[in-house]
Structure 1
């Protein structure tokens, strides 16, 4: 397990990252010409709040704002809500319908990596700090597999987040890894990425599967993972009849579709 000082340091890093977001994005507003449908999104008063800097939004308005996909000026809207949105994310107060990858896609659509350097760096540090504290926290507000999918979609990359998981070589991170494999196995055994993506799903799936085969088995075996879980990981490396006819291939009830 992780030591208390490690958890404290990781928590402090995240708190600092959230504080920095509040400073960097202070005074941000939606674009002056931004608009949205009153029938489906919200009122003129709601829209006016997005064009007013540093005003706390209600939880409902925050939800409607981040979930809307039809903003004409996506980046200013995200910058406007980002400090409050990021804080709510880390506390588990944001509940997407399909999963946290939806939030990652919000960042991706807003092209945050093309923002001014200080803004992009603040977002990058926030994502890294949140991922770090997630791997160290035995009971994070948002599960590791969900935060991982968010970070992957926000950046279009798995490598940095997988390498961070490798660096966290302790029991807590391994518990998160075991739970993630349990969450992902159904899709990976069906040769599917376990979340929807705007990036290359096949490449992401292959990279994730390859990493699990190289790293997950040894780590989980060393921490006494159940043999069935280890067999599921082994099956990721098989294909066709070799996989389906393996005695450890799971026989889920009902059709798989």
Structure 2
């Protein structure tokens, strides 16, 4: 983990305050949750088993009540688990839940702490090796969370360096076909913004020029060469 991400996580802990004692009890379907399970979910966030927390986040707003107070209660734990281990947590699901809970309407210190972590994650991805910090993985959280792609592309444009250049190849390898087709929604669990047009425009104006010979395999390089063509003339 980068120092900036670690510092941002510490900032979230401070902004949200100590996670000890109990919060307002969270309720849910009594056919799905026992009293003991609901009590554990309502208790200290650090003591909730990872599998139980994953299930609760997945069920939030369905078989578990859509309590914003509860989601705020577990947010520091979710963010730290997501960045440190990520073994069970689904980044996209966490982002979708936070968006539904209108995280930008939360107390300013909490909102700003989440924004700081997002910025730290994105800048670390652009400066880091693709196999450890792929931009597609970062965007799979950032776009469902913020419903925006433009601010992240603006930062990418202003970020020099070979690492940021190589991430362009990662982006195209993963999402090139969808970008060519003009349809790419990475929100997974809900309808999100179609980011293909913005990515195509950015690649044409900035991204493709950052690639060097050999950054893409032959097939990927050929498909990228189709991008400037009118949609009806492209081979996909």
Q: TM-score range by the shorter chain?
A: 0.7 to 0.9
Residue 23, structure 1, aligned to residue 14, structure 2? yes
* 1:229 aligned residue: 220
Q: What secondary structure, in the 3-state scheme, does the structure 2 residue paired with 1:218 have?
A: helix
Counterparts of 2:230 and 2:212, CA distance in 1: 23
Unaligned runs of 5+ in 2: none
The CA deviation at 1:141 is 4.7
* 1:82 aligned residue: 75
Please tell me whether the aligned partners of residues 27 and 53 of structure 1 are also in contact (alpha carbons under 8 angstroms). Answer: no
Cα deviation 1:16-45 (Å, max 9, x = unaligned): 11111112223466543x3112443x3322
The correspondence for 2:147, drawn from 156, 162, 171, is: 156
The CA deviation at 1:164 is 2.0
The correspondence for 2:160, drawn from 155, 169, 172, is: 169
Cα deviation 1:70-100 (Å, max 9, x = unaligned): 243342222111122111111342446xx74
Residue 45, structure 1, aligned to residue 36, structure 2? yes
Cα deviation 1:218-249 (Å, max 9, x = unaligned): 001377544543432332343443113xxxx4
Q: Which moved more, 1:109-118 or 1:166-175?
A: 166-175
Give the structure-1-normalised TM-score: 0.78
Q: How does 1:27-176 map to 2 (within 5 A)?
A: 27=18, 31-32=24-25, 34-40=26-32, 42-70=33-61, 71-95=64-88, 100-138=91-129, 141=132, 143-176=134-167
Pair 1:185–1:225, CA change in 2 (3 A): closer
Counterparts of 1:22 and 1:224, CA distance in 2: 39
Q: What secondary structure, in the 3-state scheme, does the structure 2 residue paired with 1:221 have?
A: coil
Counterparts of 2:186 and 2:23, CA distance in 1: 29
How many residues are treated as equivalent by the alignment?
Answer: 231
> Which ranges of 4 or more aligned residues in structure 1 deviate by more than 6 Å?
none
Counterparts of 1:239 and 1:150, CA distance in 2: 31
* 1:5 aligned residue: none
Counterparts of 2:23 and 2:155, CA distance in 1: 34
Q: Give the CA RMSD over aligned residues.
A: 2.7
Cα deviation 1:115-134 (Å, max 9, x = unaligned): 01111001111111112222
